[in-house]
Amino acid sequence: MVKVTLKDGSVIEYKKGITAKEVAESISAGLARVALAAEINGEVKDLGYQINEDCSLNILTFDSEGGREAYRHTSSHILAQAVKRLYPDAKLAIGPAIDNGFYYDFDVDKPFTTEDLEKIENEMQKIIKEDLKLERFTLPRDEAIKLMEEKGEKYKVELINDLPEGETISFYKQGEFVDLCAGPHVESTGKVKAYKLLSVAGAYWRGSEKNKMLQRIYGTSFTKKSELDEYLHRLEEAKKRDHRRLGRELDLFDIYEEGPGFPFFLPKGMVLRNILEDYWRKEHKKNNYQEIKTPIILNEDLWHRSGHWDHYKENMYFTKIDEGDFAIKPMNCPGGMLVYKRKLHSYRDLPQRIAELGLVHRHELSGALHGLMRVRCFTQDDAHIFMTPDQVKDEVLGVINMIDSFYKVFGFKYHVELSTRPEDSMGTDEQWDLAINSLKDALETKGMEYKINEGDGAFYGPKIDFHLEDSIGRTWQCGTIQLDFQMPERFDLTYVGPDGERHRPVMIHRVVFGSIERFIAILTEHYAGAFPTWLSPVQVKILPLIDKHVEYALKVQKELEDKGIRVEVDARNEKIGYKIREARLERVPYMLVIGDKELENNAVAVRSRKDGDIGTMPVSEFIEKILEEVEGLI
């Protein structure tokens, strides 16, 4: 007999060899119908997995990450089988589940077209109707290679050759289709109910520009058609909100061929950017941060000392100055270390909070660039906090509170994730355990739910990441809190303690926006370019009906500007309907229409982006209204 501990803590005894699916059936017929996979001792397995020893077991449905991954991984195999049926000479590469969907890479003679995707979707439907069982089997290395060679799958052979000695080499079979795969999968192809192929793109084998360009087909799948329809609607909405298009249309920012990955901020974009930076400075001053500015180019030796040379060199740019080797900074941290180290500190000086809006440069592959979301130069709103060990918890809590207050201003919900030690890291086990437990303690004190990402921390310490949810349900990683015991040691940072001896400070790296550029992109898509009044580059557009009203319009403009309101006058000799449409396209919060009646009564006819025509009012009343709307936010 084996003891199986279920998610609710109950323990049930079963005969050895019982499958996870049979356990699900014994618990609830309803659960068994929607079960997709099982988490056994923390590992996701097929429902056919046989239990031969005591274990913990959690039945996974589509509502769980593991269940969705198994479902979409199976969807990718259905896609691959359909492609092989239609294009027998296609070579298989890899096909994982990803966030919100799946993809599969193929080596084919010519790129797939939209018509090809429709044919592949139809063939996938046939495979789903056939309800083919997914069967797992393993082979010794030589037999596995032989099988894939016989099938002409050279990429699979390469993958097998790269597996460590002693690694289990598993395959999944569905009908005539066999694929090298570690799994897990759902029981049969018929389990997949609603799917859609979304796009096709080029992708280098193993992500290297030195390798052949393959064809990557992206798709998504859900257990209900209504969920698929809702997701496709969100995708359409996302296209409308694409910050790259809106950035050009609203004259905020752009990227030109002369500087791939290096964004240009235009006058209105600079207004938006400066509002964010001014707000950032105000809040940091309120929270007792000191602002600094460090150089963009620093000596190569500094990057050896910081550890970036060993862990980040491939993402850095280099130059020579006076025959010496220098690097353009990819991060602001080493400059912050030098600022702290410039003088001796007492424990009474700590915590010391040093903030910087620092421009950094990182070499990103051209295929990874994406508007302001992924660029080669950006401004990080960094801060480095130096503290005594007993101040760590309070400082982490202080940063959490600050980040929370920032995001509430923009109307963002968020969730947090705690990332632990990666394989490529610095420091001792004891230091990492202390750092991870300190972050956990702070989160639990705040009563915050969090997900743990094993092995996803920075090379110098664990981190808390804040993931924002935008208005159409997408999430974006922005703020982060990284606890670091390594940099202070590498830079020999010290403070004098109450005992008169020198001690090593602990350090926090943290950002709130993440990068100004990326945050602006997120805001642009979150608001679909219709920024709230306090953020709008142009808050008011004055629209005179005819030329004789222009002089009064300019007078109103001056009154508004004197009160700090951002305003433009559209004095073009165009019809008022055209001017109103143009202002709407520019997402201006307020339009003030001026004709004879307004001129005579020192008034304005107010149209709101949100509420439409809200009537005529004295200029002073409108000024009071708009200032009340933005009060406390600027």
SS3 477: strand
- pLDDT (0 to 100) of residue 188: 96
Least confident of 48-57, 352-361, 428-437, 520-529: 428-437
CA distance 20 to 11: 14
Residue 362 is a catalytic residue? yes
Write the burial class of residue 625 (CB in 10 Å: 0-12 exposed, 13-18 middle, 19+ buried): middle
Assign 206 to helix, strand or coil.
helix
482's torsion region: left (phi>0), alpha (psi -120 to 50) or beta?
Answer: beta
Catalytic residue (one of 509, 510, 549, 579): 509
> Other CB atoms closer than 10 Å to residue 610's CB: what's the count?
10
**Out of 463, 510, 518, 579, which one is annotated catalytic?**
463
Fold entry, domain 66-239: Threonyl-tRNA Synthetase; Chain A, domain 2 (3.30.980)
User: In sequence order, what DSSP letters do the residues of 489-522 get, joined into one string?
Assistant: HHTT--EE-TTSSEEPPEEEEEESSS-HHHHHHH
Burial class of 314 by CB neighbour count within 10 A (0 to 12, 13 to 18, 19+): exposed
Assess contact for 459 and 422: CB atoms under 8 A. yes
Please give the Cα distance from 236 to 232 (Å, whole number): 6
Is-contact 37 58, C-beta < 8 A?
A: no
- Do the beta carbons of residue 21 and residue 47 sit within 8 Å? yes
Q: What is the pLDDT of residue 530?
A: 96
Is residue 634 pLDDT above 80, yes or no?
A: no
- Its pTM stands at 0.80
What is the fold, at CATH topology level, of the domain defined by 261-295+330-526? BirA Bifunctional Protein; domain 2 (3.30.930)
Terminus-to-terminus CA distance in the chain, angstroms? 67
Decide if pLDDT at 353 tops 70: yes
* Domain covering 2-61 in this structure, CATH number: 3.10.20.30
> Of 81, 174, 215, 380, which residue is the catalytic one?
380
Q: How far apart are CA 435 and CA 421, in angstroms?
A: 10
d(CA 466, CA 449): 12
pLDDT at residue 125 in the model: 97
Cis preceding-peptide flag for 184 (omega within 30 of 0) = yes
Overall fold of domain 540-630: Rossmann fold (3.40.50)
Question: Residue 100's closest CA among 67, 59, 63, 68?
Answer: 68
- pLDDT level of residue 485 (50, 70, 90 thresholds): confident
Query: Does the pLDDT at position 219 exceed 60?
Result: yes
- Give the pLDDT of residue 367: 77
Residue 73 marked ligand-binding: no
Catalytic residue among 105, 174, 216, 333: 333
At residue 366, the pLDDT reads: 82
Q: Which of 92, 176, 180, 177 is nearest to 139 (CA)?
A: 180
Cross-strand bridge partners of residue 215? 106, 202
For the segment 222-250, the average pLDDT, to the nearest whole number, is 93
- State how far the Cα of 220 lies from the Cα of 231, in Å rounded to an integer: 9
Q: Of 105, 116, 179, 382, which one is the catalytic site residue?
A: 382
Question: Among this protein's residues, is 562 annotated catalytic?
Answer: no
- Strands 135-138, 170-174: parallel, antiparallel or unpaired by DSSP? antiparallel
Can you tell me the mean pLDDT for 341-362?
96
- Distances in Å between the Cα of 35 and the Cα atoms of 62, 64, 75, 509 are 8, 10, 16, 42
Domain limits of the chain?
A: 2-61, 66-239, 261-295+330-526, 540-630
User: How many angstroms separate the Cα of 497 from the Cα of each of 3, 395, 569?
Assistant: 54, 18, 62
Answer yes or no: is 509 a known binding residue: yes
- Residue 433's pLDDT band, with cuts at 50, 70 and 90, is confident
- How far apart CA 247 and CA 501 sit, in angstroms, is 55
Q: Which two tokens stand for residue 96?
A: 């994982």
What are the tens digits of pLDDT across the range 140-160?
999 999 999 999 999 999 999
Please name the helix (run of DSSP H) or strand (run of DSSP E) that holds residue 103, with its range, or none: strand 101-107
Q: Could you report the per-residue pLDDT of 187-199, keeping only the tens digit for each?
A: 999 999 999 999 9
CB 317 within 8 A of CB 339: no
How many CB atoms lie under 10 A from the CB of residue 343?
7
Active site residue 181: no
* Rounded Cα distance, 317 and 99, in Å: 31
Does 384 show up as a binding residue in the annotation?
A: yes
Percentage of the chain beyond pLDDT 90 is: 83
Q: Tell which wins on pLDDT, 426 or 92.
A: 92
Q: At what angle do helices 154-162 and 141-150 cross, to 10 degrees?
A: 170
Please report, to the nearest 10 degrees, the dihedral formed by the alpha carbons of residues 581, 582, 585, 589 taken in order.
Answer: -90
Looking at residues 529-539, what average pLDDT do you find?
96
pLDDT at 633: 67
CB 471 within 8 A of CB 413: no
Mind listing the pLDDT tens digit for each residue in 106-128?
999 999 999 999 999 999 999 99
Tell me if residue 382 is catalytic: yes
Furthest CA-CA distance within the chain:
94
Residue 20 to residues 34, 70, 183, 190, 465: CA-CA distances in angstroms? 13, 14, 15, 19, 34
The catalytic position among 21, 77, 329, 384 is: 384
Strand pairing category for 352-361 and 475-484:
unpaired
Q: What is the mean pLDDT of the chain?
A: 93
Q: How far is CA 75 from the centre of its chain?
A: 24
Q: 378 CB contacts (<8 Å, ≥6 apart)?
A: 359, 360, 372, 515, 516, 517, 518
Q: Is 380 a catalytic residue?
A: yes
Give the three-state DSSP class for 413: strand
- The active-site residue, picked from 362, 421, 518, 607, is 362
Sign of torsion over alpha carbons 550, 552, 557, 558: positive
Q: Is 463 a catalytic residue?
A: yes
Mean pLDDT of 326-344: 94
- Cis bond leading into 532, ω under 30°? no
